[in-house]
Amino acid sequence: MSKWDKEYLNMCKNILENGYKSENRTGINTYKLPHQIFKFDLGEEFPILTTKFVAFKSAVLEMLWFYQVQSNDVRWLQERNVKIWNEWQIDENGDYMGKHFGKEYAHTIGTAYGYIVNKYKLVQNLIDTLKTNPNDRRMIMSLWQNEYLESAALPSCVWNTQWDVTDGKLNCMVTQRSCDVFLGLPFNVTQYAVLVNMIAKEVGLKPGIMTWCINNAHIYENHIEGIKEQISRLDQAYDAPELWLNPAVNNFFEYDNSKELKDIKLLNYKHHEKISGKVAV
């Protein structure tokens, strides 16, 4: 049985049983718990849920959009049939949710995620430091830049990664300010596990521990039945699959990012059927 399925669904049960009902900006109430923390040994198991289908390609393409392509243009995702950012896309007039961002931000999510990664050259700086000074204790990629929050359609939810090299392994601590447990977290954990593996491969390290810290872990009321359905499948969870990265590619920026995702694959991914849910905007 996948360890991630067990830990994830135990947290879901805890939120449903002990979570605090909370109002929020979306208008759909949630049940929440603060400060949920997970640890993944990426050398032992690749984390992706098996108790429901997780769209691996879409999750990885979103991550590549942030960190490899370093784009905020939603059309790049749409061209690859990834629709997860459609609800936050600024329209052709530069407007979103009654706010004017300016036509220069049309078809984007404003100054968030890939915009920040590109602005501060976060990935290249990280890779350079890992290669030249792996004992550095300042290896941080922060997507939370105060001067760009107001011009972001949605400020980054997963906003910070801290990196460490110990005993030949690359470790990463991920911080998430706000977590849609049903729809967001399954994508997020899987895509950042891929990111750690890709960067480790380029800098000649093995993937190590990924620690995941959530400030506000919440389940929306309209996702409760879906969560309960998934919890009922726990005893039928499958073993975790394996991640395959093309051994011929050693540069993070050279991995194929077409919709076929030729250089990044899952091997032996067995899973239960998809459980749908509507995203809260």
Residues 230-270: pLDDT tens digits? 999 999 999 999 999 999 999 999 999 999 999 999 999 99
Collect all residues with Cβ–Cβ distance below 8 Å to 111 and sequence separation of at least 6: 72, 105, 119, 148, 149, 151, 152
Alpha-carbon distance 174 to 172, whole Å? 6
Average pLDDT over residues 40-56: 99
Three-class SS state of 261? coil
- In this prediction, residue 158 carries a pLDDT of 98
Average pLDDT over residues 89-95: 97
Three-class SS state of 154? coil
Active-site position among 12, 157, 172, 179: 157
Average pLDDT over residues 122-130: 99
pLDDT band of residue 122 (cuts 50, 70, 90) is: very high
Question: Across the chain, what does the average pLDDT equal?
Answer: 98
Residue that has been written with the tokens 């830049």 in this structure: 145
Structural domains of the chain, with CATH: 3-19+31-57+121-267 (3.30.572.10)
Helix (H) or strand (E) run with residue 62 in it: helix 56-67
Alpha-carbon distance 10 to 238, whole Å? 16
Helices 184-203 and 56-67: crossing angle in degrees, nearest 10, is 60
Question: Do the beta carbons of residue 88 and residue 153 sit within 8 Å?
Answer: yes
Question: Do the beta carbons of residue 143 and residue 160 sit within 8 Å?
Answer: yes
Question: Do the beta carbons of residue 219 and residue 16 sit within 8 Å?
Answer: yes
Average pLDDT over residues 269-279: 97
12 counts as catalytic: no
Residues 168-179: pLDDT tens digits? 999 999 999 999
- In this prediction, residue 281 carries a pLDDT of 86
